Amino acid sequence: MDPKLTGLSRRGLLAVGAGAAAGATLVACGEGDDSTASSDSSPSKASDGGSAGLVPLAEVPVGGAVSATGKDGEPVIVAQPRSGRVVAFSAVCTHRGCTVAPGEDALECPCHGSTYDLATGENTGGPAPRPLAVLQVRVVDGVVEEA
């Protein structure tokens, strides 16, 4: 790129790039959502026709969880703590906004080590100050969807 065309020196261009990268990092490590909406965690067959499917129930292991994308495009966790009981949470860590993932026996934040209970979203360790936000879900025709 010709510096005469942009009006920026190489040093100025590097400074702008560094500022943009720092801004992106701050957004990624934001405080996260502190909403704690309640959830009807038992499956039902009712549908309002406007819900987006998160994941087929058959793909959610009993006693485990899977990552999915919510209807708003945000990362979510769908868990089945016991057969037929489905729960979902925002996958945004309440510490610094990193994306939480299913682990062996808990939901885990890879950034600073926070852990959350697979069945409740409650914080079980690490620096996270609050539980994960609960999402209302239901099962319709074998698919877990947001209510």
CATH code for the domain of 83: 2.102.10.10
* In a domain? residue 41: no
Question: For the chain, which residues score pLDDT lower than 50?
Answer: 1-51
Q: What is the pLDDT of residue 52?
A: 58
Total domains present in the chain: 2
- Domain span at residue 71? 53-146
Same domain, 72 and 104: yes
Q: Are 94 and 142 within one domain?
A: yes
Q: Do both 83 and 130 map to the same domain?
A: yes
* 37 belongs to a structural domain: no
Predicted confidence (pLDDT) per residue in 106-127, tens digit: 999 999 999 999 999 999 999 9
Is residue 47 in some structural domain? no
Residue 118 lies in a domain: yes
**Which pLDDT score is estimated for 15?**
45
Distances (CA, A) of 14 to 11, 23, 31: 5, 14, 28
**Does 19 share its domain with 58?**
no
Residue 59 shares a structural domain with residue 22:
no
Q: For tokens 């099962």, name the residue.
A: 139
Same domain as 142, residue 74: yes
Q: Are residues 105 and 137 in the same domain?
A: yes
Domain shared by 79 and 126, yes or no: yes
Say yes or no: 8 and 63 in one domain. no
Asked whether residue 81 is assigned to any structural domain, the reply reads: yes
State residue 46's pLDDT score.
Answer: 33
